[in-house]
């Protein structure tokens, strides 16, 4: 299994909306590195959901429900999306401030490449986030 983090402004598409929808196509990614990360995702991979801009915290855990396919929202170019479905809300959100000061998490792409909307995580980072989120 691989581990990932996706970012969304809660005003645009929130964790609560994903829970309500039950599943969503993760469309609209227009960065080549993030697109390539989407194309690496496999069904069943774990995906943390991060609220960017206003909340700046990891709030939920989802899973890849369908591997990459063409993004229907793209009017030109070779863009992809995946389907995500919620797994569970984190008991304790993990804030960006916590991530930046944690020895295991401070080198995450979220910190080093802050504008990238889809990033990989190591197993150690995944497990540390779960521990900070109280399981």
| Nearest by Cα to 85 from 131, 18, 27 | 18
pLDDT at 84: 98
Task: Return the H-helix or E-strand segment holding 98.
Answer: helix 96-101
pLDDT at 49: 98
Burial of 2 (0-12, 13-18, 19+ CB in 10 A): middle
pLDDT at 50: 98
pLDDT at 70: 98
Q: List phi, psi (to 5°) of 84.
A: -120, 145
Q: Which residues contact 129 (CB under 8 A, 6 or more apart)?
A: 48, 58, 94, 105, 121
CA distance 98 to 101: 5
Query: The tokens 């960017």 sit on which residue?
Result: 52
Q: What is the mean pLDDT of each run of 10 residues along the chain (135 residues)?
A: 97 98 98 98 98 96 98 96 98 98 96 94 98 90
What residue spans define the domains of the chain?
A: 3-132
The CATH number that domain 3-132 falls under is 3.10.590.10
């Amino acid at each position: 299994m691989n581990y990932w983090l996706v970012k969304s402004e809660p005003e645009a598409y929130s964790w609560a909306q994903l829970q309500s929808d039950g599943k969503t196509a993760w469309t609209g990614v227009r960065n080549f590195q993030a697109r390539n990360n989407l194309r690496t995702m496999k069904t069943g991979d774990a995906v943390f959901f991060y609220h960017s801009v206003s909340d700046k915290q990891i709030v939920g855990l989802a899973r890849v429900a369908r591997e990459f396919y063409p993004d229907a929202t793209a009017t030109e170019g070779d863009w992809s999306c995946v389907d995500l479905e919620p797994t569970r809300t984190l008991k304790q959100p993990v804030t960006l401030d916590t991530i930046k000061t944690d020895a295991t998490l401070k080198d995450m792409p979220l910190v080093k490449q802050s504008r990238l909307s889809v990033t990989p995580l190591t197993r150690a980072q995944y497990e540390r986030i779960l521990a900070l989120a109280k399981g």
